[in-house]
Structure 1
């Protein structure tokens, strides 16, 4: 029974030949980075339902293609789980320059996630810039991860697609509201 559990973990986490300690450290680092990214985003996200917030700007016009909030709450957890598992698989891969580069790119993706979500729709220019950087970095991560562990790269494909879709939404918001933004 215990051997079959270890085999399942090794298959899922790309951890054959790795110690339990190494796997747990990797899981702590990857899950911690994803959770920290989500926590930072939540802490610094602008309040959206606070009527007391003062602004000289008109209310932003939402795009017609924006999915409901419930869709976001269904999409983000599996995407974050896939990012965590992808990072863990890369962590468990044999040491190499490609692995180091993939892990670095993975970490940058986490940081950009936090910035992108924290900026929120009220700071469209920064959010669009961060989203484009995130898409490019995630694409570079997939490219580099594919050389280290192809399944880890494949796990991130839905995230890259989602970020691409989010870029379209952000760009549409920015374009629709560009005339409303004025300097004071």
Structure 2
């Protein structure tokens, strides 16, 4: 029966060959914590059955016709967050260089913008649109920089960039349809 090389599999997935287990665990902790913080902000601001309008007491916004059903978001975000975590971990484990530092900085800014965008929700559509646009640009810059450090890490974030682009279209359409209605009371 062939033996399973767990460390080899982890090294391949996390780009951690030559790194200590401690370095790998610190990176995993930092990247997972940053992405988890964004996810928790999203969850804290998500509507529930008890409070479908968790954001504020505004009337129902006019929705775009092409908005995906709410359950789709629950299926899409977890793999995107997982890919963001793994991408950041792969960059963390890359050899030290100015490109790595730039990529890690951009990755961190993407996480911060995610948290801000989700915290704003539809309370402030203009602010959400500006934040989502900044997140899209920063994520694109991260992909560009990460590709120079670790191409698979850049590839892992490409679906996120596409999703944020689509989210920008939805947010812009919400803003356009509702700009004459106050959304924060």
TM-score (norm 1): 0.91
Provide Cα deviations, 1:117-152, integer angstroms capped at 9, x if missing partner. Answer: 111123211110000000000000000000000000
Shift of residue 50, structure 1, vs aligned partner: 4.5
Unmatched tracts of structure 1, length 5 or more = none
What does residue range 20-35 of structure 1 map to in structure 2 within 5 Å? 20-35=21-36
| Aligned: 1:89 with 2:106 | no
For 1:75-95, what per-residue CA distance to the aligned partner results, in whole angstroms no more than 9, with x for missing partners? Answer: 000000000000000000000
Shift of the 183–85 alpha-carbon distance from structure 1 to 2, 3 Å rule, reads closer
CA displacement 1:22-46 (0-9 Å, x = unmatched):
1011000000110011113333557
Given that 1:42 and 1:118 are in contact with CA atoms closer than 8 Å, whether structure 2 keeps it comes out as: no
1:32 match: secondary structure: helix
Written as runs of structure 1 = structure 2, the 5 A alignment for 1:10-25 is 10-25=11-26
Write the distance in 1 (CA, Å) between the matches of 2:108 and 2:183: 35
Runs of 4+ in 1 over 6 A off after TM superposition: none
Structure 1 pair 175–92 and aligned structure 2 pair: CA distance change class (3 A): same
Q: Is the 8 A contact 2:91 2:149 kept in 1?
A: yes
Specify the alignment match of 1:108 in structure 2. Answer: 109
Q: How does 1:1-184 map to 2 (within 5 A)?
A: 1=3, 4-44=5-45, 49-50=52-53, 54-55=57-58, 58-181=59-182
Contact in 1 for aligned 2:45/2:121 (Cα 8 Å): no
**2:103, 2:145 within 8 Å by CA — same for their partners in 1?**
yes
Count residues in correspondence.
180
When normalised by structure 2's length, the TM-score is: 0.90
